[in-house]
Amino acid sequence: MQIAVPESFKTNILRLEPVNAVPWLEALPEQVAALCERWSLEPDGAVMHGGLSLVVPVKRAGEACVLRVAWPHGETALEVIALQTWAGRGAVRLLEVSYDADALLLERLDATRSLKSLPLEPALRVAGRLLRRLAIAAPADVPLLSAQAIQSSQRFESDWLRLGKPFSKRLLEAARLNAVQLAPDAQRLLIHYDLYDDNVLAATREPWLAIDPKVIAGDAEYGIAQMLWRRLEDMPSAARFWRAWDGLLESAESDAERSRAWTLVRLVDYWLWGLSIGLTIDPARCETIAAWLL
């Protein structure tokens, strides 16, 4: 039995790769069927998807799982390393992997309940505790934050100039200096730096589990920023922001000054990247948070 690929998923992929995506999408139903046969899976529900991944609910020997097949993006290996290292402690459990198909078989979580279902402060407390819990010794193959921070700092000014000086020189210099100063003594902890509402789902064996890890070996404080700009609509004032900030840092057991410094680095990095690809909402979010932090 072959699955039907949702039209909305096709649109996402075709927008990224209008030429190469066509044969990949055409072959996807057969690829899913082959993986189901290989891993003895039975389809068990409506096909879902994220931005780059098709997600098929399946069962194996009665166990509820999901088969995730991703558009080839070169990140599967790192994701597997992270999930294997955490081994289900605070994160979704990895059951099988196919590198050639960019496919993972994962335990099934509740895709209808993410941290979006919680008010701001409870959601940030959950995310903060998960960030700290997942921050264990990083395997050797995980990229180092210390090296990435230096590389980023070296291109900040040229990108800033190329994009028409979109923010103050003060912010640019603060981020550049923070990166240079923080890099030498950055820790080598396994950090899920994309830990926000949609990447934390309700589960049965634990209340909440992280999914879709984007990881780096560094300070836990590097993961703070993502949680903030994704819930900015719930922080309409500086006072509301600082209450959320304090609660998040407390739950994540994070150092305030180091969190502030890394967050400024990430804001500038993401702001410049977002402008370079035509984003509008996210750079505006970065601008708001940066103004409060400065």
pLDDT of residue 20: 86
104 and 121 share one domain = no
What is the average pLDDT across 176-202? Answer: 97
Question: Domain range spanning residue 165?
Answer: 117-293
214 and 255 share one domain = yes
Q: What is the mean pLDDT of the chain?
A: 95
More confident residue, 73 or 261: 261
pLDDT of residue 170: 97
Q: How far lies 50's CA from each of 71, 197, 289, in Å?
A: 11, 14, 27
pLDDT at 240 over 90: yes
94 and 158 share one domain = no
123 and 252 share one domain = yes
What is the average pLDDT across 27-40? Answer: 96
159 is catalytic: no
| Of the residues 82, 108, 134, the one at which a domain ends | 108
Q: How far lies 71's CA from each of 56, 77, 108, 110, 145, in Å?
A: 14, 13, 20, 23, 26
The pLDDT tens digits for 48-81 are 998 899 999 999 999 999 999 999 988 899 999 9
Cross-strand partners of 118: none
pLDDT at 26 over 90: yes
Is the residue at 88 inside a domain? yes
* Spatial distance between the Cα atoms of 150 and 202, rounded to a whole number of angstroms: 37
Q: How far lies 48's CA from each of 20, 36, 57, in Å?
A: 22, 16, 8
Q: How far lies 192's CA from each of 94, 147, 200, 217, 228, in Å?
A: 16, 17, 11, 9, 15
| Of the residues 86, 108, 130, the one at which a domain ends | 108
Burial bucket for residue 73 (CB in 10 Å: 0-12, 13-18, 19+): exposed
Q: Which of 44, 194, 198, 282 is catalytic?
A: 194
Provide the percentage of residues in the chain whose pLDDT is more than 90: 91
pLDDT of residue 122: 96
Q: Please report, to the nearest 10 degrees, the dihedral formed by the alpha carbons of residues 58, 62, 65, 66 taken in order.
A: 0
84 and 228 share one domain = no
247 and 138 share one domain = yes
Is the residue at 243 inside a domain? yes
Q: Is 60 helix (H, G, I), strand (E, B) or coil?
A: strand
* Spatial distance between the Cα atoms of 230 and 216, rounded to a whole number of angstroms: 20
pLDDT of residue 17: 80
Question: Helix H segments across 98-192?
Answer: 120-134, 145-162, 169-182
Domain count of the fold of the chain: 2
What is the average pLDDT across 154-158? Answer: 97
Residue 216: both structure tokens together: 């780096």
What is the average pLDDT across 76-98? Answer: 97
Among 182, 161, 187, smallest CA distance to 266 is for 182
Residue 14: both structure tokens together: 């075709």
* pLDDT range class, residue 19, cuts 50, 70, 90: confident
246 and 159 share one domain = yes
What is the average pLDDT across 178-193? Answer: 97
236 and 176 share one domain = yes
pLDDT of residue 15: 87
* Residues 6+ positions from 239 with CB-CB distance below 8 Å: none
pLDDT at 1 over 80: no
138 and 279 share one domain = yes
pLDDT at 198 over 80: yes
Q: Please report, to the nearest 10 degrees, the dihedral formed by the alpha carbons of residues 280, 284, 285, 288 taken in order.
A: 180
138 and 13 share one domain = no
| Of the residues 108, 128, 154, the one at which a domain ends | 108
Is the residue at 1 inside a domain? no
